[in-house]
Homo-oligomer: A and B are copies of this chain.
Amino acid sequence: MFSGLSAFPLTPTDENGIDEHAFVGLIARLAAADVASIGALGSTGGYAYLSRKQRAWAAREAVAAAGTTPVIVGIGALRTRQVLDHAADAQEAGAAAVLLAPMSYQPLTDDEVFGLYRTVTAESTIPLVVYDNPGTTHVTFSDELHGRIAALPNIGSIKIPGVAAAAALARIAALRAVIPAHVTIGVSGDWLAAGGLLGGADAWYSVLGGLFPEAALAITRATQAIDSTAAREASNRLEPLWALFQRYGSLRVMSAAAETLGLVHSPNLPLPLLGLDPAARSELEATLLRLGLGA
């Protein structure tokens, strides 16, 4: 479950709640595309902005709509107590694994981060993916901290931030050296994913894959065939899209792309988050058409 393409879909949400029909449709689409796993309620899935009730609902519906595809459910929250509640709800929903980012408001110490993972893994019976994403959590994981956490029971994988192609081999080897062999390493930062996979990562935790699974699978499969030329070409041709991810944030870009495909209504992000402005939206639409990703 913790290798290959893990696709992270949106949870279309406006001020009235989750667009339930659209959410189920996005999940079913990924299951049909044969991704290795589905990451529901990741950062792209807006977990941080949803209530416990909404998250429990989304976990149940994702598992139901995913069929035999394993579903990894995000359980992060600012308080340990809330994380435990979300973990219990995810397990009850039939999630195959949980994904935990150490959300923070007050900056956390390493001991506080470790304590969170220790408490959660002690109460959980399904595997946990450590979600290292300093861009949203503002927690910086040292390799020493990764090693301590990965040695806890029930740790299945580590989702690391994007790493430049030239540095990927060394980065992944360094991390691999401090974690148990059964814990896999997955990359994120879609524009760097091909390099990460070619550098030895087991999985790609992918925003692109949540809406364009075929394009992400093409890259993933080329890396699995160790066809580095094909992998790099498949990634490089998406450069105009990666540029938009970096300029506007991958969440806002995927939100607008899903609208373009007619899969979600507008708006579909919870305020204060705003969709792309009209100029950026035109730019995205032209880019999708050019890449053959249009409606």
Write the residues of chain A forming the contact surface with B, with a CB cutoff of 8 angstroms.
15, 43, 48-49, 78-81, 102-103, 105-109, 111-113, 115-116, 119, 135-136, 138, 249, 251, 270-274
CB-CB under 8 A for A109 and B274, given A15-B81, A81-B15, A138-B138: yes
- Report whether B136 and A272 are in contact in the complex, using a CB–CB cutoff of 8 Å: no
Distance between Cα atoms of A138 and B139 in the complex (Å):
12
How many copies of the polypeptide does the oligomer hold? 2
Q: Which residues of B contact A135 (CB under 8 A)?
A: 107
Distance between Cα atoms of A108 and B112 in the complex (Å):
26
Q: List 22 A-B contacts (CB under 8 A).
A: A15-B81, A48-B78, A48-B106, A49-B79, A49-B105, A79-B270, A80-B270, A80-B272, A81-B270, A81-B271, A102-B272, A106-B249, A108-B272, A108-B273, A111-B274, A112-B272, A112-B273, A112-B274, A116-B271, A119-B271, A119-B272, A138-B138
Q: Which residues of B contact A108 (CB under 8 A)?
A: 272-273
Give the dominant DSSP class at A's interface: loop
CB-CB under 8 A for A272 and B105, given A49-B78, A78-B49, A81-B15: no
Q: Which residues of B contact A15 (CB under 8 A)?
A: 81
- Report whether A272 and B115 are in contact in the complex, using a CB–CB cutoff of 8 Å: yes
Q: Which residues of B contact A111 (CB under 8 A)?
A: 274
* Other 5 A-B pairs with CB < 8 A, given A49-B79, A138-B138: A80-B270, A80-B272, A106-B273, A108-B272, A112-B273
Shortest C-beta distance, A206 to chain B (Å), equals: 17
